[in-house]
Amino acid sequence: MRRRFRAALIFSLLTVLLVNAGLALAIWVKSDKLEDLYFGEAIYYGYQEAYFDAIVRLDTELAQHYALDQPSLDSLSAHRSEAEFDVGDLELSYRMHQRAGRAIQRVLDAEGVPQSVRNEAAYRLARIYYAKGYYINAAHALDLIGGEVSKPLAERADLLRGQVQMTQMNYKQAIKLLKPLRKSSELNGYAAFNLGVAYLRDGQLQKGIAQLDEIGKLAGNDAETVALRDKANLTLGNRLLEEGRAAEARPYLERVRLDGPFSNKSLLWAGWADAALQKYDRALVPWTELQKRDPSDAAVQEALLALPYAYAQLEGYGQAALLYGQAVNEFEKEIDRLDSSMSAILNGKFKRALLRDPDERTSTFFQNLRAQGDAPETRYLLDLMASNDFQESVKNFRDMEQLRLNTLQWMANINAYQDLINVRRQYFVPLLPVIEKNFKTQDALLQSVLLRRDEVARHLNNAQKSHNVRAFATQAELSMQRRMDRVAYKLGRMQEQPGLKQAKARLARLQGTLSWQIETDYDKRLEKAHKDLVELDELIGKLREQHQVIVRMKREAYQSYEGYEVPLRRLSTRLQSLNNNAAALMQQQAGYLEKVAVRELDRRRRKLADYRVKARFALAESYDRATKKQAKEAEDVIREQQKIQEIQADDDVSPAAGGTQK
């Protein structure tokens, strides 16, 4: 029985230590300054243990970042490396080991990745493999770490290497890796504990004892140090007890706190240490204290048999019989509780208890179980959680329920979106035809203006190239030029007469004046024409912007209610399928959990039934011994009385010879 307790203890201790060894599992934000608020929001949800929400937000942010034409201008670029790693960490926290491993493997396979980033990725990949039990793969991933490695990463990697070596029973190599880590400020406690276990498994008992003894005397009152100290003392005491060194084991077991999680086992084994030394009166002290505790605990149940056994060894058969009777009653009560719990589980109450508050964080859910009433369906749940597989199965079951609720919420959101689209359609359908008609008119005017502008620009360029000064003449000047051309034509057709020559001379002066005016104003008029063209382009640019706004608004108006029916229908169908799959998987998972729970409770029941049989036989034997002892004591009393009577009879006999009889 002590061997079974030791195996269960070592397994649970190593499991806890392996989890604690990866303390940096959820250290997501490493930058001194947060540049992207959406990235910070995703990490916030991660710290709240809402891993699904964190993964969805971070995946969305990364997908949008990758789709940008210039990702370097995005605020997420400052956190891109962290975000790519954090997705893997969050998926690992959400127990998505395969996807997390592939994400980190892609970082390792990418080109141009700095060696420091590759080292971090290799360590995280090794940690994933180790958590999944792929120890050889974890060792290969650790071999990818190279170049200049930071001290914290090097220490964590060596600790993981040591743990991998221990799984392969290469204890000497594990010792070699773990020894230097005793000087680590972050991992010294965990490394020292694993080093002590490695010494013990390698057969170096004295070194293992010395190492665990050092941990068992660690100074500090924080929860982490106190728990580690208790684990080391309990492990060391149990090992010494198995080695037959009960006297040495007792002091280590006494170091374990009486109110800690390991107190029941320490009290039980302390009593067995005293019993091994045949100091049964001392064994009564821890076993009597243990008897007062929760009878559902295995150590307490064993103490219910151990305590009367100690009284029997002290020949207190009456007290032993009384305690054996109490043990039988306790075992029967516990068996009834187990029957009630198994019945409640098979009736579905266990499944409903696990889904009591699906939105509650998993960690607080397990903590709040202690505050619940003594319900049959949850009475032994915390003890069942000692199994890592069962605990992970419970987490998966609750996560699937949360996913199922998410799908229901998303389907409700799709219906709300459909209602919103219908409202938009009712609003825009009467307005858009009128807008479309006016838009076509305005669009035609814009095209006409653009054609006219291009024509003006072409004439301007031609006039400038050919230095055509008349191209910049005003309407009045052109009108006067045409009038003078008509006058000149008429004067040219007239016959010679008095005053004709003076008229032609005067007309020539007027024509010269006009030409001189047009020629001298050419530069100013050319400059003004260019300025006017620039102003025209500015006005046309504003007109085009307004035109684009109208086009965009018109397009958005159509897009706000058109083209959504098919995608929303597909999404709704897909969500319904996901919901059905989640419900089916939940049913299977619930069946598995109920089966495991009932099997474990049935094992406990059979064990208690065996205890009850032993207690009844011991009870009968104690009564028999007590009866025999009482009979023997009665015979001794009778003999003593007979002797007294014989002595009194001798006193009444006649005096010695020579005397007279009266």
Question: CA 142 to CA 158: how far, in whole Å?
Answer: 9
Q: Distance between terminal CA atoms of the chain?
A: 78
Asked if 202 and 172 touch (Cβ cutoff 8 Å), the reply is: yes
Asked if 29 and 82 touch (Cβ cutoff 8 Å), the reply is: yes
Give me the pLDDT at residue 394, please. 84
* Helix boundaries (H) for 110-222: 115-132, 135-143, 151-167, 171-178, 188-201, 205-216
Give me the pLDDT at residue 5, please. 33
Q: What is the pTM of this model?
A: 0.66
Identify the band that residue 495 occupies on the pLDDT scale cut at 50, 70 and 90: confident
Identify the band that residue 288 occupies on the pLDDT scale cut at 50, 70 and 90: very high
The answer to whether residue 379 scores a pLDDT higher than 80 is: no
Identify the band that residue 30 occupies on the pLDDT scale cut at 50, 70 and 90: low
Give me the pLDDT at residue 90, please. 83
Average per-residue pLDDT for the chain: 82
Question: CA 250 to CA 655: how far, in whole Å?
Answer: 67
Asked if 290 and 325 touch (Cβ cutoff 8 Å), the reply is: no
Per-residue pLDDT tens over the stretch 214-268: 888 877 787 888 888 898 899 989 989 988 889 999 999 999 998 888 899 999 9
Per-residue pLDDT tens over the stretch 433-491: 888 877 788 788 888 888 888 888 888 888 888 888 877 788 888 888 888 888 888 88
Question: CA 443 to CA 543: how far, in whole Å?
Answer: 10
Give me the pLDDT at residue 613, please. 92
Residue 288 or residue 114, greater confidence = 288
The proportion of the chain whose per-residue pLDDT surpasses 70, expressed as a percent, equals 89
Cα dihedral 504, 506, 509, 510, rounded to 10, equals -100
Backbone angles phi, psi at 467, to 5 degrees: 55, 50
- What are the CA-CA distances from residue 648 to residues 1, 470, 652 (Å)? 59, 173, 7
Give me the pLDDT at residue 284, please. 92
Give me the pLDDT at residue 17, please. 37
Question: For 366-370, what is the mean pLDDT?
Answer: 63
Give me the pLDDT at residue 1, please. 33
Question: CA 574 to CA 584: how far, in whole Å?
Answer: 15
The DSSP letter of residue 244 is: T
Q: Give 66-131 as a DSSP string.
A: HTSS-GGGSGGGGGHHHHHHHHHHHHHHTT-HHHHHHHHHHHHHSTT--HHHHHHHHHHHHHHHHH
Asked if 226 and 196 touch (Cβ cutoff 8 Å), the reply is: no
The answer to whether residue 321 scores a pLDDT higher than 70 is: yes
> Considering only CA atoms, which of 426, 501, 534, 515 is closest in space to residue 472?
515
Which residue in the block uniquely carries the two structure tokens 């940008």? Answer: 68
The answer to whether residue 18 scores a pLDDT higher than 50 is: no
Give me the pLDDT at residue 359, please. 67
- Could you tell me how far CA 433 lies from the centroid of its own chain? 53
Question: For 410-426, what is the mean pLDDT?
Answer: 90
Asked if 600 and 327 touch (Cβ cutoff 8 Å), the reply is: no
The answer to whether residue 315 scores a pLDDT higher than 80 is: yes
Instruction: Indicate the residue type of 204.
Output: Q
Identify the band that residue 544 occupies on the pLDDT scale cut at 50, 70 and 90: confident
Look at 8-12, 293-297, 378-382, 646-650 and tell me which has the smallest mean pLDDT. Answer: 8-12
The answer to whether residue 356 scores a pLDDT higher than 80 is: no
The answer to whether residue 573 scores a pLDDT higher than 90 is: yes
Cα angle, residue 483 at apex, residues 479 and 489 outer, rounded to 5°: 145
Sign of CA pseudo-dihedral 618, 234, 128, 355: positive
Which residue in the block uniquely carries the two structure tokens 């608004």? Answer: 553
The answer to whether residue 528 scores a pLDDT higher than 80 is: yes
Give the count of beta carbons closer than 10 Å to the beta carbon of residue 627. 13
Which residue in the block uniquely carries the two structure tokens 């709704």? Answer: 572
Asked if 315 and 288 touch (Cβ cutoff 8 Å), the reply is: no
Question: CA 328 to CA 326: how far, in whole Å?
Answer: 5
Per-residue pLDDT tens over the stretch 99-137: 777 777 777 777 767 788 788 888 888 887 887 788 888
Residue 500 tokens read as 């004709």
The residue length of the chain stands at 662
Backbone angles phi, psi at 252, to 5 degrees: -70, -40
Per-residue pLDDT tens over the stretch 237-249: 998 998 888 999 9
